[in-house]
Amino acid sequence: MTEFSGSGEARPHTIRYSVGDNRIDITRDDGATSSLWWATKNEWLGLLDIAGLELEALYAGFAREPFADDSREYVFVARRRLSSDVP
């Protein structure tokens, strides 16, 4: 695969997907590396809970597209839990 830098110079690279780890590893032919990780919807929901936030809405985009099982983007709308809501 080839990427192009801001100067238009081609930079050959390899991408390896690790779906089980929610990770993409990118290795350029010159040895430079980069990794991208992402969280699942349930991991984000757990983080909201730990942070003391309550989910108000979940969208599939910033234009408030309805969220579905096959949505590829998550936009969470959350608020701080009221002290009376905390167990």
Amino acid identity, residue 25?
Answer: D
User: According to the model, what pLDDT value does residue 47 have?
Assistant: 94
User: According to the model, what pLDDT value does residue 78 have?
Assistant: 97
Average per-residue pLDDT in the chain? 83
Q: If you ran DSSP here, which 8-state letter would residue 44 be given?
A: H
Domain boundaries, the chain: 2-37, 41-85
The DSSP bridge partners found for residue 72 are none
Residue 20 has pLDDT above 90, yes or no: no
Give the β-pairing of 10-18 and 23-28. Answer: antiparallel
User: According to the model, what pLDDT value does residue 8 have?
Assistant: 62
What's the pLDDT tens digit per position in 24-62? Answer: 888 888 888 888 888 888 999 999 999 999 999 999 999
User: According to the model, what pLDDT value does residue 29 have?
Assistant: 83
